[in-house]
Structure 1
Amino acid sequence: MHWNHFVALGDSITASVGNSVPGIESLRWADRIALALRRINPGLRYDNLARHGHTTQDVHTRQYPEAAALRPDLVSILSGGNDVLSPHWSPPQYRDALEALFRAFRKQGSTVISFTLLNPASILPARLAARTCARLQEAHAIIRDLSGRYQCICVDCWHLASTHDPRIWSADRKHPNALAHQLVAAEVERCLHLATGIPA
């Protein structure tokens, strides 16, 4: 199985690569996936439409129309960090926006890659870590439920042991660095292999 057009949606975790790390090529995780897929299909098209600061509702209202017009057969949606960090965090609103994306792309015939989010506990003060992680668990329950319902390929970054290391974060302590992007890309490749049999 191979895809012809990969479109990546989301927030800054997909839009940028964060700080460089010695010995690691500074590529976004989605760029790495596009390169891996081109080893199978050299003609693969790739568009990264992710934007800094976007919530999942922003992804739906501002990124989805452009993505849908491209008619991709593979879509990644890594979104939720800005939702969870908002003082107005609303699990029902998050669910509605994420479900709208999953439903629309699956109806269009796209394979959808979904994600749980990275664990920031190693870089946050204890009180903030507890609140943030509690919200992330709410988000993850929604992600896992909808991923199952819409038959998405769910990449579980939360339980990826290597992403609990504080060395994967950029100096701003908000965004993952190049090492994190390498680790996430490797897990995406592994999940694609398990789901479809394509070489990892």
Structure 2
Amino acid sequence: MVYARYVAIGDSQTEGIGDPDGNGGWRGFADRLAAHLATVAPDLRYANLAVRGKLTRQVREEQLDAALALRPDLVTVVAGMNDLVRPSFSAETVVSNLDGMFAELTATGARVASLTFPDLARLSPIMRPLRHRVLDLNAGIRTSAARHGVVVVETFGYSVTTDPRLWSPDRIHASPLGHARIAAAFAEVLALPGSDNSWSRPLPGARTATVVRTVTEELRWLTSSAAPWLYRRVRRRSTGDRRTPKRPTLVPVNPPASEPA
């Protein structure tokens, strides 16, 4: 299928945090997927409504209507990580919000794609308590997606998805390589020309995790990423406060030569 209007909604992963664009902004998997789509449909128009720090409820309340108004024929919905790491997490609530978005978007005839979350316990020992949350959330995503005909990128069963090289130092956002793999995974489930399952293959040259290295990396993560996150939570602040989408309207991925790139 050739898509003409692609809209991405979600949180920081969709915004592209962790994947610098070289101009002071962020690229990310959605931008990369749009570029792939544009190789098939050069006139593709693309909007990215995602804002970092948003909970799934906020994505539904703040982005869904805007996405529907753009009348997309393809939508990616990626949200839930910010819910997952909060003490108040409820898989039922997150899935309910995702289900509502899936229902409204697919009712328009749009193709909708989402993903499950990887086994975070394999990424960091500190994240092991989150494993049951990931399992519950993924089960709900699969059930909801099947109900509405949403295609899903499965990340949980692949060891590469928890390779540290696919993640930024904060372990919340994908690295440039990680964003590239996510884009390739979406391309595969959408059966785009030139796509395959190579995104799921392990990276060569995996490091052996020693006790000293593991302890050192965990301490570094606690001070550089976990502590600032906890500080924002105490102050009831979010990285997405007062931020607006980076690409709020549908514009060409490949602008005419007369327009600025």
TM-score between the two structures when normalised by the length of structure 2: 0.69
Q: Give the 3-state SS of the residue equivalent to 2:77 in structure 1.
A: strand
Match of 2:144 among 134, 143, 146: 146
Match of 2:184 in 1: 186
- Aligned-residue RMSD, C-alpha: 1.6
Find the aligned partners of 1:38 and 1:167 in 2 and give their Cα distance: 28
Find the aligned partners of 1:50 and 1:147 in 2 and give their Cα distance: 20
Size of the aligned set, in residue pairs, is 190
Match of 2:70 in 1: 70
Find the aligned partners of 1:160 and 1:106 in 2 and give their Cα distance: 28
Match of 1:130 among 128, 131, 134: 128
Match of 1:80 in 2: 80
Find the aligned partners of 2:154 and 2:15 in 1 and give their Cα distance: 19
Unmatched tracts of structure 1, length 5 or more: 21-25
Find the aligned partners of 1:84 and 1:169 in 2 and give their Cα distance: 17
Find the aligned partners of 2:44 and 2:93 in 1 and give their Cα distance: 34
Find the aligned partners of 2:167 and 2:120 in 1 and give their Cα distance: 9
Find the aligned partners of 2:84 and 2:76 in 1 and give their Cα distance: 19
Unmatched tracts of structure 2, length 5 or more: 21-25, 196-261
Amino acid at match of 1:31: D
Q: Give the 3-state SS of the residue equivalent to 2:40 in structure 1.
A: coil
Find the aligned partners of 1:120 and 1:102 in 2 and give their Cα distance: 25
Check the 8 A contact 1:168/1:178 in 2, yes or no: yes
Check the 8 A contact 1:56/1:83 in 2, yes or no: yes
Match of 2:92 in 1: 92
| Aligned residue runs from structure 1 range 1-200, under 5 A | 1-18=1-18, 27-125=27-125, 128-193=126-191, 198-200=193-195
Q: Give the 3-state SS of the residue equivalent to 1:7 in structure 2.
A: strand
Match of 2:208 in 1: none
Displacement of 1:185: 1.1
Displacement of 1:175: 1.4
Find the aligned partners of 1:176 and 1:48 in 2 and give their Cα distance: 17
Find the aligned partners of 1:51 and 1:86 in 2 and give their Cα distance: 18
Displacement of 1:198: 4.3
Amino acid at match of 1:13: Q
Displacement of 1:189: 1.1
Displacement of 1:124: 2.3
TM-score between the two structures when normalised by the length of structure 1: 0.89
Structure with bigger gyration radius: 2
Check the 8 A contact 1:18/1:176 in 2, yes or no: yes
Check the 8 A contact 2:16/2:30 in 1, yes or no: no
Displacement of 1:19: 5.4
Displacement of 1:172: 2.0
